[in-house]
Chain A
Amino acid sequence: MSLVSSAHGGAAAHALSHQELRNWLLFVLSVVAIFALQPSTPIRQLDFWLPLFSLSLSTIVWAATTPAPNRAALRDALALGGVLVVMLASRHLEPLAGLWGRAQAPSPIGAAIVAVAVAGAAFALHNYFTPKATSLAILTVTMLGLLIALKFAPATQALSAGFRWMQGQSIAQASAIDVQWLGFSYLAFRLVHVIRERATGKLPALSLREFITYAVFFPTLIAGPIDRAERFVKDLRAGFTFNADDLAEGARRIAWGLFKKFVLADTLALIALNEVNATQSHSGFWTWVMVYAFALRIFLDFSGYTDIAIGVARAFGVKLPENFSRPYLKPNLTQFWNSWHMTLAQWFRAYYFNPLTRALRQRGWAAPIIIAIAQISTMLLIGLWHAITPNFAIWGLWHGVGLFVHNRWAEWTKSHPLLPSRSAALQQVASAAGTLLTFHYVALGWVWFAVSDTSTALGVLQSLIGWQR
């Protein structure tokens, strides 16, 4: 940093100060946000411990994946500790304590013990352990284990019982909805990404501050997108001054996102298919309307959040990856999944689909079988990532089978073209028909997504095709 500032004189020094200020601001805002946005839970103090666990996990993973001793680590750790002390103190000191609720003030000693234990583990990992495949694998499995525990209701309920027992609360009242761990899914994806990239040696060395900012970056806590660490850190390290361009572009994206989410999506939510109205509708036509409303609502809601996240980040000079690219206008399911929740699809492609297909190919399996297994299992996992329930599994299979069928169709039509290649008009008609078909395939898939009960979903599908329920 000092070389940069001396090389570019006063103006560069000014830019550097903006950059440093921005990076510290993002770091502090992200750490504070993970506490502030964490939903309260019936389990006492859990809304403090869960964010602390997120930060602890991030710190441990940073320590395990950072190869060389990092001189800034002590400074960053002290800063992190400072913010944590403020967050802890805010639960004990008026008037801030009132915001959290009386039962939400954890013991400072308990918090200190956890912080010291995490710091000790991180210090040990950082200084005395060379990252090895085994230790990285253990961290990956831990992360995935936690993810499964949070997505599988009986396991989450057991987790709730454990937390309740530790807090001296009634275990009998343990419920899966007690444990709402803000942004853990996205955190887990980011941490697994870092671990995997470290294993392959592609990950640049990140400071603790950069790493924590990346892992719990506040605009992306709730709904992504899932950025890549090496790309994210490039933005943090690039020269930056607060400027009107970034602010204008950020504000435009935020305004558009707010409109999509709070005007369009929330309005459509009134008539979108849901658990209750799914069983009440007696008209196939109006059920179609409800399904369309759900399809549009989920897109506008999710992409609205993404726009807001991208806009907020952009105002700080961070260019997050896009997550949606007009998915409902794509002419086939493969292109749909290349434009819907793109960063999630890319994550699964990088860390599940590609390794699996490579492994199966090495065994000499036939291509169609490899594609079937890889596509269907990938989509099944994406479905189960939402929650481990039959309907999400069916939703995943629905898309997996759809992708496989499209893949085979695309292969077949390569050797058996259905349309004369020179007929642009026919190609356009075919493309429009493909878009319509793809949208409806996706929309019908949302039925499994919108209701949690399989028989209700089947009833809705029957109603849509005109069968009496």
Chain B
Amino acid sequence: MRHTWRALMRLALKAALMVLAVNIAFALLNPVPALGRLSAYHVLLPPRLRLPFGETPERAYNLSLFDLNAMFASHAIAAPKAKDEFRVVLLGDSSTWGFLLRPEDTLSGLLNAMQLRTADGRRVCVYNLGYPIMSLAKDLLILRQAMSHQPDLVIWLVTLESFPASAQLTHPLVQRNPEAMHALTIAYHLRSIADQARFTHASFIERTFWGQRRALADWLRLQLYGVLWAATGIDQYYPESYEPAQRDLDPTLEWKGFHPPQLPEDALAFDVLEAGAQLAREGGAEFMLVNEPILISQGRNSDLRYNFFYPRWAYDTYRQRLAERARQQRWHYLDAWNLVPPSEFTNSAVHLTPRGSQLLAEQLAAWLSALPLKGSERR
């Protein structure tokens, strides 16, 4: 084919116009959320047992992304609910997600292995919707998405570190879902976070194909890593060794800028917790709250602090308030804070070993079977 410089210029101009048109159309139509619902999981690939998260994708076969549709589409919870299924979702932080734990050693994995059934004979199927960030707002965001998957029971595992009102909106997962977060803030009058107008609203350029290239690449990588997840059953990087959680502690009593005995009520995002409970109930699900186990250190300065995260005074105040709030709201409440011995924590004051996870699962299963709802018992 013979070309002239003029023809080449015309070609370049047409190509540039096409690129421009595609980008503008992409920004106007915003197909990313719809694309997120398309997934190779459940069709070609086995679904993931926990939400996608990973800082080293090439070793974890998993990655962090911010498209909740894509995250849920890859998860086991996206499967249609069976008639005989009693669907339980677990919300929480990295402890619930199962940092350093194989999927079968996570709380959900262990509960599912127990093959629990409700009193009316339904299979208790537990879904791990924990996500490794300490923020109740993030849990609320995930719960909002989870409610479309018809849970019968929502179990929310929390710890004080997730409560500071000032830290609710800092993570990209929350920042990148401003519309959903804003809707929750309005619907549930979330005073503790309403005045923190720090959402990232995408500009027009950021909504173009070019601006969304990272989101699109993440979606594609999520599908591709599913192959290695299917092949290996690995969804996080397991280092050969890790730094154990700190046992000898600094003598500081300060927590998030507060000093004893002042821990103002409005410094903790209890309103987000209440919104979650309300959201669950509005969706027809039971709601349960668990104060998750923490490492109670016996090392240096352990008379002042429980662990790296918590001075004793702050944590004790929190526990007291949490129990009080649960009582007031008539939530099912399990305080498992001291359930797990110090030897059963891994690299953090909330990350459990398989044995620690087993202890919590047994406690939770016993507690579930004693609950005055549909009931559950071991087969």
Partner of B231, one of A245, A267, A282: A282
Say yes or no: is A287 at the interface (Cβ < 8 Å to chain B): yes
User: In the complex the two chains form, what is the Cα distance from A286 to B46 in whole Å?
Assistant: 11
With A277-B231, A286-B231 known as contacts, the answer to whether A270 contacts B2 (CB < 8 A) is: no
User: In the complex the two chains form, what is the Cα distance from A18 to B61 in whole Å?
Assistant: 52
Closest to B11 in A: A248
B3–A270 touching, CB < 8 Å: no
Closest to A276 in B: B59
A267–B224 touching, CB < 8 Å: yes
Residues of A contacting B5 in the complex (Cβ-Cβ under 8 angstroms):
244
With A267-B220, A270-B224, A271-B225 known as contacts, the answer to whether A287 contacts B8 (CB < 8 A) is: no
User: Which residue, of A271, A276, A282, has the highest number of chain B Cβ atoms within 10 A?
Assistant: A271
The minimal Cβ–Cβ distance linking B13 to chain A, given in whole angstroms, is: 14
Partner of A282, one of B2, B59, B232: B232
A286–B227 touching, CB < 8 Å: yes
Residues of A contacting B11 in the complex (Cβ-Cβ under 8 angstroms):
248
The minimal Cβ–Cβ distance linking B187 to chain A, given in whole angstroms, is: 39
Closest to A293 in B: B227
Residues of A contacting B232 in the complex (Cβ-Cβ under 8 angstroms):
277, 280-282
The minimal Cβ–Cβ distance linking B307 to chain A, given in whole angstroms, is: 33
Say yes or no: is A290 at the interface (Cβ < 8 Å to chain B): yes
With A267-B220, A277-B232, A280-B234 known as contacts, the answer to whether A245 contacts B2 (CB < 8 A) is: yes
Partner of A270, one of B1, B221, B233, B234: B221
B8–A247 touching, CB < 8 Å: yes
Say yes or no: is A153 at the interface (Cβ < 8 Å to chain B): no
User: In the complex the two chains form, what is the Cα distance from A316 to B59 in whole Å?
Assistant: 42
The minimal Cβ–Cβ distance linking B237 to chain A, given in whole angstroms, is: 11
Residues of B contacting A290 in the complex (Cβ-Cβ under 8 angstroms):
227-228, 231
User: In the complex the two chains form, what is the Cα distance from A337 to B376 in whole Å?
Assistant: 65
Q: How many A residues have CB within 8 A of the partner chain?
A: 18
Say yes or no: is A283 at the interface (Cβ < 8 Å to chain B): yes
Say yes or no: is A182 at the interface (Cβ < 8 Å to chain B): no
Say yes or no: is B34 at the interface (Cβ < 8 Å to chain A): no
Say yes or no: is B230 at the interface (Cβ < 8 Å to chain A): yes
User: In the complex the two chains form, what is the Cα distance from A270 to B217 in whole Å?
Assistant: 12
User: In the complex the two chains form, what is the Cα distance from A244 to B8 in whole Å?
Assistant: 7
Residues of B contacting A244 in the complex (Cβ-Cβ under 8 angstroms):
3-5, 7-8
A257-278, CB < 8 A from B: 267, 270-271, 276-277
User: Which residue, of B2, B228, B234, has the highest number of chain A Cβ atoms within 10 A?
Assistant: B228
A283-308, CB < 8 A from B: 283, 286-287, 289-290, 293
User: In the complex the two chains form, what is the Cα distance from A156 to B129 in whole Å?
Assistant: 51
**Beta-carbon contacts of A380-395 to B below 8 Å, as 1s and 0s?**
0000000000000000
Closest to B6 in A: A244
Residues of A contacting B7 in the complex (Cβ-Cβ under 8 angstroms):
244
Partner of B230, one of A245, A267, A286, A293: A286
A289–B231 touching, CB < 8 Å: yes
B220–A287 touching, CB < 8 Å: no
The minimal Cβ–Cβ distance linking B358 to chain A, given in whole angstroms, is: 23
Residues of B contacting A286 in the complex (Cβ-Cβ under 8 angstroms):
227-228, 230-231
A280–B8 touching, CB < 8 Å: no
Residues of A contacting B234 in the complex (Cβ-Cβ under 8 angstroms):
280
B202-222, CB < 8 A from A: 220-221
B228–A271 touching, CB < 8 Å: yes
Residues of A contacting B2 in the complex (Cβ-Cβ under 8 angstroms):
245
Residues of B contacting A270 in the complex (Cβ-Cβ under 8 angstroms):
57-58, 221, 224-225, 228
User: In the complex the two chains form, what is the Cα distance from A245 to B1 in whole Å?
Assistant: 8
User: In the complex the two chains form, what is the Cα distance from A429 to B211 in whole Å?
Assistant: 48
User: In the complex the two chains form, what is the Cα distance from A248 to B7 in whole Å?
Assistant: 10
The minimal Cβ–Cβ distance linking B48 to chain A, given in whole angstroms, is: 15
Residues of A contacting B61 in the complex (Cβ-Cβ under 8 angstroms):
277
Partner of A283, one of B3, B221, B231: B231
User: Which residue, of B4, B231, B233, has the highest number of chain A Cβ atoms within 10 A?
Assistant: B231
A289–B227 touching, CB < 8 Å: yes
User: In the complex the two chains form, what is the Cα distance from A67 to B138 in whole Å?
Assistant: 77
Closest to B226 in A: A271
Closest to A270 in B: B224
Closest to A246 in B: B3
User: In the complex the two chains form, what is the Cα distance from A34 to B285 in whole Å?
Assistant: 67
User: In the complex the two chains form, what is the Cα distance from A271 to B234 in whole Å?
Assistant: 13
Partner of B224, one of A271, A276, A277: A271
The minimal Cβ–Cβ distance linking A377 to chain B, given in whole angstroms, is: 37
The minimal Cβ–Cβ distance linking A456 to chain B, given in whole angstroms, is: 14
Residues of B contacting A247 in the complex (Cβ-Cβ under 8 angstroms):
3, 8
**Beta-carbon contacts of A17-42 to B below 8 Å, as 1s and 0s?**
00000000000000000000000000
Residues of B contacting A267 in the complex (Cβ-Cβ under 8 angstroms):
220, 224
Residues of A contacting B59 in the complex (Cβ-Cβ under 8 angstroms):
276
Closest to B232 in A: A280
User: In the complex the two chains form, what is the Cα distance from A222 to B232 in whole Å?
Assistant: 34
The minimal Cβ–Cβ distance linking B66 to chain A, given in whole angstroms, is: 19
The minimal Cβ–Cβ distance linking B26 to chain A, given in whole angstroms, is: 18
With A248-B3, A280-B232 known as contacts, the answer to whether A271 contacts B227 (CB < 8 A) is: yes
Residues of A contacting B230 in the complex (Cβ-Cβ under 8 angstroms):
283, 286
With A244-B3, A244-B4, A276-B59 known as contacts, the answer to whether A282 contacts B233 (CB < 8 A) is: yes
Closest to B45 in A: A286
User: Which residue, of A245, A286, A290, has the highest number of chain B Cβ atoms within 10 A?
Assistant: A286
Residues of B contacting A277 in the complex (Cβ-Cβ under 8 angstroms):
61, 228, 231-232
B313-333, CB < 8 A from A: none
The minimal Cβ–Cβ distance linking A416 to chain B, given in whole angstroms, is: 43
A281–B231 touching, CB < 8 Å: yes
**Beta-carbon contacts of B1-41 to A below 8 Å, as 1s and 0s?**
11111011001000000000000000000000000000000
The minimal Cβ–Cβ distance linking B198 to chain A, given in whole angstroms, is: 33
The minimal Cβ–Cβ distance linking B102 to chain A, given in whole angstroms, is: 13
User: In the complex the two chains form, what is the Cα distance from A277 to B232 in whole Å?
Assistant: 8
With A267-B220, A270-B225 known as contacts, the answer to whether A287 contacts B231 (CB < 8 A) is: yes
User: In the complex the two chains form, what is the Cα distance from A276 to B232 in whole Å?
Assistant: 11
User: In the complex the two chains form, what is the Cα distance from A293 to B11 in whole Å?
Assistant: 35
The minimal Cβ–Cβ distance linking B294 to chain A, given in whole angstroms, is: 33
User: In the complex the two chains form, what is the Cα distance from A98 to B1 in whole Å?
Assistant: 46
User: In the complex the two chains form, what is the Cα distance from A296 to B8 in whole Å?
Assistant: 33
Residues of B contacting A248 in the complex (Cβ-Cβ under 8 angstroms):
1, 3, 8, 11
Query: Nearest 4 A-B pairs (CB), nearest first?
Result: A286-B231, A280-B232, A244-B3, A281-B231
5 sampled A-B residue pairs with Cβ under 8 A: A247-B8, A270-B221, A271-B227, A280-B234, A283-B230
**Other contacts beyond A277-B232, A283-B231: 11, CB < 8 A:** A244-B4, A248-B8, A248-B11, A267-B220, A270-B225, A280-B228, A280-B234, A282-B232, A286-B227, A286-B228, A293-B227
